[in-house]
Amino acid sequence: MMGIVSHHRKPASAIRSDGQTDGTSAAVRHNPPVSHRTLLDLLLPSVCPLCTLANGPGLCSPCREELPELVRPCRWCGMPQTSTASDLACAHCADEGLPFLVQVTARWAYVERMVQLVGNAKAAGRPAAVKTCAGLMPVLDVDGPAVIVPVPPSPGRRTGPHLGTALARAVARQTGQPYACLLATTRLATEQHRLGAAARAHNVEGLFIAVGTVPANVVLVDDLLTSGATASAAAKALRMAGAQRVELVVLARTLKYS
């Protein structure tokens, strides 16, 4: 990992996260099943959400220092750069970036402890982990007015906090820009992590549709960036609805090498 990621040592503010209605019945939404990890958050709210051993409520110092921060991430695709030469094109995207996106901002590498933290927030549905992830989002300097838009949850997803929505709300609070749900899904798609790179773009083609009035500038927010297919499909829907500039902000970038 030398030269690819670094360890974060600065404290990050905790930001409250909110869930999002996912189309389930009111009874299910108001009485979601409680996992043993969620019970741990309720019974022991002052423990570190990663190791669950040290005092919390945020990350303990050892866990925070183990988070893998990206080194010189490419502004077009988010991949870390191994060269310090500013005149060299990105070795992964050749400065061509992702379709329909003008810029990508990523802070962490999706490896090791970040995989565990995101898993606690998504698969385990632990509110403390969701809140911690929200506090770890990149710090943005938005150029001009924009609307912060989350990539929406997939139909039929498990109940509990939706990480992408919580992260988008965190970015909106941090930047002072308005938050809006301007995307909806058109169908049930296969989960992207089950597919290879070649099938990902086909799987999300036409998956998103814009709803409401779409402004000229949009900051699209998601938790992870892997192939970029999902983000590009979401950005395409926003562009078709009138957005002139769509940039992507993610918590973590999957490291892939050609």
pLDDT digits over 79-120, tens only? 998 776 667 889 889 999 999 999 999 999 999 999 999 998
Q: For the chain, how are helix, strand and coil distributed in percent, rounded to 5?
A: 30, 20, 55
Whether the CB-CB separation of 48 and 58 falls below 8 Å is answered with yes
129 or 33, which is more confident: 129
Nearest to 92 by CA among 106, 140, 245: 106
Element (H, E) at 165: helix 163-175
Q: Which of the four pLDDT bands, split at 50, 70 and 90, describes residue 33?
A: very low
CA distance 18 to 62: 27
Nearest to 219 by CA among 194, 258, 182: 182
Q: How many CA atoms lie within 13 A of 247 on its CB side?
A: 20
Q: Which of the four pLDDT bands, split at 50, 70 and 90, describes residue 73?
A: very high
| pLDDT of the residue at 193 | 64
Q: Which of the four pLDDT bands, split at 50, 70 and 90, describes residue 190?
A: low
List alpha helices for 57-216, DSSP H. Answer: 61-65, 112-122, 127-134, 163-175, 197-204
Phi/psi for 213 (5° steps) reads: -90, 120
Instruction: Answer whether residue 145 shows pLDDT above 80.
Output: yes
Interhelix angle 112-122/127-134, nearest 10 degrees: 130
146 or 44, which is more confident: 146
What's the CA dihedral at 249, 253, 256, 258 to 10 degrees? 30
Interhelix angle 127-134/36-43, nearest 10 degrees: 70
Measuring CA to CA, how many Å separate 160 from each of 75, 83, 100, 121, 194?
A: 32, 41, 31, 10, 22
185 DSSP β-pair partners: 208
- In percent, the amount of the chain with pLDDT more than 70 equals 73
155 or 253, which is more confident: 253
User: What type of residue is 168?
Assistant: A
> Is the preceding omega at residue 57 within 30 degrees of 0, hence cis?
yes
pTM above 0.85, yes or no: no
Mean pLDDT of 64-70: 96
Residue with tokens 């949850």, as numbered in its chain: 153
Q: pLDDT averaged over the chain?
A: 80
CA distance 251 to 221: 9
Instruction: Answer whether residue 222 shows pLDDT above 70.
Output: yes
Model pLDDT for residues 223-244, shown as the tens digit of each residue: 999 989 899 999 999 999 999 9
Element (H, E) at 167: helix 163-175
250 DSSP 8-state letter: E
